[in-house]
Amino acid sequence: MPIEPIINHRLYKKVADQIAQLIQSGEYQRGQKLPGERNLITRLGVSRSSLREALISLETEGLIEIRDRSGIFVLGEPETSEAATNDTTVFEVFAARELIEVEVATLAALHATPEQLETLSLLLGKMVVCSASDPQGAEYDRQFHLTLAQACGNRVLLRTVELLWENTQSVMEDQPPQIKHSEATWQANVMEHRDILHAIRSKNPQAAQTAMQQHLENAIKRFSAELS
């Protein structure tokens, strides 16, 4: 089964799916080392950041292991999590996110680099010009939160946030069409991200913690309002 270029803009998910298929098909066996990052980037036709996100996702699922200075090794077929995902509610996911991401914001306020602050600013700017119906808005939202996790300098936290966002996207896809952002709720969401960024840029961990907690609490309130 040959590796094919990724031409769709679904980014890391498409990359992760193709690598998983290669492993499941037997192209790469348990214990075998995958091609190096540069090789994969060239053969898949994606950016380094997209590949890295895909690899982190696969490592979180237990499919591969990224070993510093050694490479990427296959651990086996991914553990099935469909039952757990299907039974998971939006409220459970957001409760877990609040526990983790509030602390992530606190750490990001202390450790974010100028480059990460610039990335956060660019992502917020892209969110501002998106409409509620633009699917790219959700992707920029996800990247914003992952950048905060990267700023913590802790790969376990990054993988945890990645997994939480996988669950967020999964449970939200199962919701009825009316449970979507309106223009008003999308703009409220954007403003909350602006408050988070302001606190991070000000290196104010308490303000960052408060802003993130308020954002996630508002998110679940907006969801609850749509259900009622």
Distances 106 to 71, 112, 174, 199 between C-alpha atoms, Å: 32, 10, 31, 9
pLDDT band for position 213 (50/70/90)? very high
pLDDT band for position 83 (50/70/90)? very low
| pTM, two decimal places | 0.64
Ordered by start, the domain boundaries in the chain are 12-74, 82-227
Cross-strand bridge partners of residue 66: 72
pLDDT, tens digit (0-9, with 9 covering 90-100), for 148-197 = 999 998 988 998 998 898 888 777 776 655 556 789 999 999 999 999 99
Kindly tell me if the per-residue pLDDT of 87 is higher than 80: no
At CA 56, angle to CA 51 and CA 59, rounded to 5? Answer: 125
Domain 12-74, CATH number (from 3.40.50.410, 1.10.10.10, 1.25.40.340, 2.40.170.20): 1.10.10.10
Q: How far apart are CA 28 and CA 74, in angstroms?
A: 7
The number of CA neighbours under 13 Å toward the Cβ of 167 is 24
pLDDT, tens digit (0-9, with 9 covering 90-100), for 130-142 = 998 888 898 899 9
Q: How far apart are CA 168 and CA 89, in angstroms?
A: 9
pLDDT value at residue 210:
97
pLDDT value at residue 21:
85
Q: Which of 186, 187, 212 is nearest to 199 (CA)?
A: 212
pLDDT, tens digit (0-9, with 9 covering 90-100), for 37-66 = 889 988 888 888 888 888 877 876 778 888
At CA 216, angle to CA 210 and CA 149, rounded to 5? Answer: 75
Q: Which CATH architecture has domain 82-227?
A: Up-down Bundle (1.20)
Among 14-18, 96-100, 119-123, 207-211, name the one with the lowest average pLDDT: 14-18
pLDDT value at residue 214:
96
Indicate the average pLDDT of the chain.
84
pLDDT value at residue 115:
94
Instruction: Determine contact, residues 57/12, Cβ cutoff 8 Å.
Output: yes
Average pLDDT estimate for 91-107: 93
- Please list, in sequence order, all residues whose beta carbon lies within 8 angstroms of the beta carbon of residue 200, skipping any fewer than 6 positions away: 105, 108, 109, 112, 117, 120, 148, 151, 208
Q: How far apart are CA 192 and CA 213, in angstroms?
A: 10
- Please list, in sequence order, all residues whose beta carbon lies within 8 angstroms of the beta carbon of residue 216, skipping any fewer than 6 positions away: 94, 97, 98, 101, 102
pLDDT band for position 7 (50/70/90)? very low
**DSSP E strand boundaries for 35-127:** 64-67, 71-74
